[in-house]
Amino acid sequence: MAKKKPPEEPGIPEWVVTYGDMMSLLLCFFILLSAFSELKKPREYQKVIESIKEALGIDGGLGMIHTLQNPQNSMINHLTEHAKMAGDVAARSDVNEQSISGRDQTVRTIREGNRWAVGGPIPFAPASAELSRSAREQLARIAEQIRGQTRKVEIKGHAWGLEDKASGLDYRDLAYQRARAVAQYLEKECQVRPELLSIVSAGNSEPKSVDLTDPGAGAVNRRVEVVISEVDLAEVHPDPEWQGN
């Protein structure tokens, strides 16, 4: 006759203890991640960093961690370098000075919304801000589209490459001169209201092509763009109809 299986002793199963330990470790891990996600006061974290380094053994201490990665790339090392760089300089969270109150207590933000390029880019010769004959004809057509309307128009200049560097000007300065030449032509020759136009220099920060092997890359990057925004002149100008003196 088979023997009966002895009844199991009451108590907590062994896997519950292991599961509880794992959950506790995960909780501590995520708390540390949250605490180190934004280092606002590096000097206050210095002692914490030293304690963790001593416990984990990155630079010695109780033991040495065996890892396939370079310990110098660890989060602990990054936090240490951050604290060293901060030094005694007050962090943003340490500053308690009251800000200066101006005449206007609120700021109005203008959101431009959609923008439309008009007439295509206006090309320029290398190291030059002079308008070519074809560019003047192109601007005359563009002026027909923007003359009489009340939306702000952005004139953005661009420069690029060693050819433009030969002008002796910085990219931003040359791009500004190109945009200014376009704006002056629209104002004086095409009777576009000057208060509608905003001159912007993008320098060499917005090229259309960066292929150095393409001989035509510089030509498409040396340009001025005319862009109409959704901002009405009345939103940004105190006298949009220019009735003042």
54 and 162 fall within a common domain: no
Position 245 in a domain: no
- Residue 210 has a pLDDT of 79
55 and 144 fall within a common domain: no
Position 16 in a domain: no
Whether the predicted pLDDT of 85 surpasses 50: yes
Position 209 in a domain: yes
DSSP codes, 55-99: HHTTTSSS-----SS-GGGSHHHHHHHHHHHHTTSPPGGG--PPP
Residue-number span of the structural domain to which 180 is assigned: 115-236
Confidence band for 180, pLDDT divided at 50, 70 and 90: very high
217 and 162 fall within a common domain: yes
**Pairing verdict, β 197-201 and 151-157:** parallel
- Residue 79 has a pLDDT of 63
Task: Choose among 222, 205, 211: nearest CA to 125.
Answer: 222
Whether the predicted pLDDT of 2 surpasses 80: no
Task: Choose among 168, 235, 157: nearest CA to 195.
Answer: 235
Whether the predicted pLDDT of 95 surpasses 80: no
pLDDT digits (tens, 9 = 90+) for 96-145: 666 666 666 665 655 667 788 888 899 999 999 999 999 999 999 999 98
